[in-house]
Chain A
Amino acid sequence: MTLNVLAVDDSRTMRDMLSMALTGAGFSAVLAEDGEKGLDALKEGQFDAIITDINMPNMDGFSFIGHVRGQDQFKSIPILVLTTEAAPELKAKARNAGATGWVVKPFDPPKLVRALQLVAG
Chain B
Amino acid sequence: MAVDREQMGEIRALFFTECEELLEALQDGLEAVSNDTSDAETINVIFRAVHSIKGGAGAFGLSQLVNFAHHFETALDEVRSGTIQMDTVALKLFFRAADLLADLTQAARAETTHAPADLAEIERALEELVPEPSAESGGSDSLAQPPEFQPLTLDLALPGLDTAEASGLVSEVLYFAPTAELFVSGSEPLYLFRALSGFASVTSECDIEKVPPLDQLIVDDFHIGWNIHLSGEYSAQEVDEVFEFVQGLCTFRRGTAEDAPELPKLNNPQFEAGETEATTPNPPPAPTVTSAKSTATIRVDLDRVDRLVNLVGELVINQSMLSQSVAEAKQPPSSSVVQGLEEFMQLTRSLQDSVMRIRAQPVKSLFQRMARIVREASAEVGKPVQLKTVGETTEVDKTVIERLADPLTHMIRNAVDHGLEPAEERLAAGKPEQGTVTISASHRSGRVIIEIADDGAGINRKKVHEIALKKGLISAADDLGEAEIDNLLFLPGFSTASTVSNLSGRGVGMDVVRTSIQALGGRISIASTPGEGSIFTISMPLTLAVMDGMVVEVAGQAMVLPLSFIAETMSIDHSMLEELGRETQVVHIREGLAPLLDLGTELGIREPLEDYGDYVALVISHEGDAHSVLIVDRIIDQRQVVIKGLQNSLGKIPGVAAATILGDGQIALILDPLDITTNALGRTKIAPLALAG
Contact = CB atoms under 8 A, between A and B. Distances in A.
Nearest to A53: B55
Contact of A32 (B44, B185, B294): B294
Contacts of A26: 284-285, 287
A27 B7 CA distance: 17
A76 B182 CA distance: 10
A118 B55 contact: no
Contacts of A102: 245
Given A30-B290, A32-B294, A2 B56 contact: no
B187 A109 contact: no
A59 interface: no
A100 B274 CA distance: 26
A11 B18 contact: yes
A84 B185 contact: no
Interface residues of A, number: 66
B192 interface: yes
Contacts of B47: 55
Interface string B3-33: 1100110110011011000000000000000
B112 interface: no
Contacts of A79: 186
B58 A105 contact: yes
A60 to B, nearest CB: 9
A89 B292 contact: no
Nearest to A75: B184
Residue in A10, A20, A32, A102 with the greatest tally of chain B CB atoms within 10 Å: A20
Nearest to A96: B185
A120 B187 CA distance: 8
A99 B185 contact: yes
Interface in B34-74: 41, 44-45, 47-48, 51-52, 54-56, 58-60
Interface string B238-261: 000110110010000000000000
- Contact residues of A: prevailing secondary structure: mixed
Given A108-B156, A109-B3, A20 B11 contact: yes
Contacts of A6: 292
Given A30-B289, A109-B3, A119-B191, A76 B55 contact: no
Contacts of A75: 184
A24 to B, nearest CB: 5
Nearest to A32: B292
Interface residues of B, number: 71
Contacts of A23: 287-289
A85 to B, nearest CB: 6
B292 A31 contact: yes
A24 B188 CA distance: 24
Nearest to B12: A13
Nearest to A1: B280
B191 A14 contact: no
Contact of B48 (A20, A56, A90, A100): A56
B138 A30 contact: no
A79 B185 CA distance: 8
A6 to B, nearest CB: 8
Contacts of A2: 281, 284-285, 287
Interface string A78-108: 1100001111011000010011111011111
Interface in B180-234: 183-188, 190-192, 194-195, 198
A57 B45 contact: yes
Contacts of A95: 185, 248
A100 B185 contact: yes
Contacts of A27: 284, 287
Contact of A13 (B56, B244, B279): B56
A99 B244 CA distance: 13
Given A10-B52, A13-B11, A106-B151, A78 B187 contact: yes
Contact of A89 (B139, B148, B187): B139
B15 to A, nearest CB: 4
Interface in A20-46: 20-33, 37-38, 40-41, 44
Residue in B148, B152, B185, B187 with the greatest tally of chain A CB atoms within 10 Å: B185
B292 A40 contact: yes
Contacts of A22: 287, 289
A106 B11 contact: no
Given A30-B292, A57-B45, A86-B148, A105 B245 contact: no
A121 interface: yes
12 contacts: A2-B281, A6-B292, A16-B10, A30-B290, A79-B186, A87-B141, A89-B141, A98-B184, A108-B156, A109-B1, A113-B1, A119-B187
Q: Which 4 A-B residue pairings sit nearest by Cβ, starting from the closest?
A: A41-B292, A26-B284, A106-B59, A101-B245
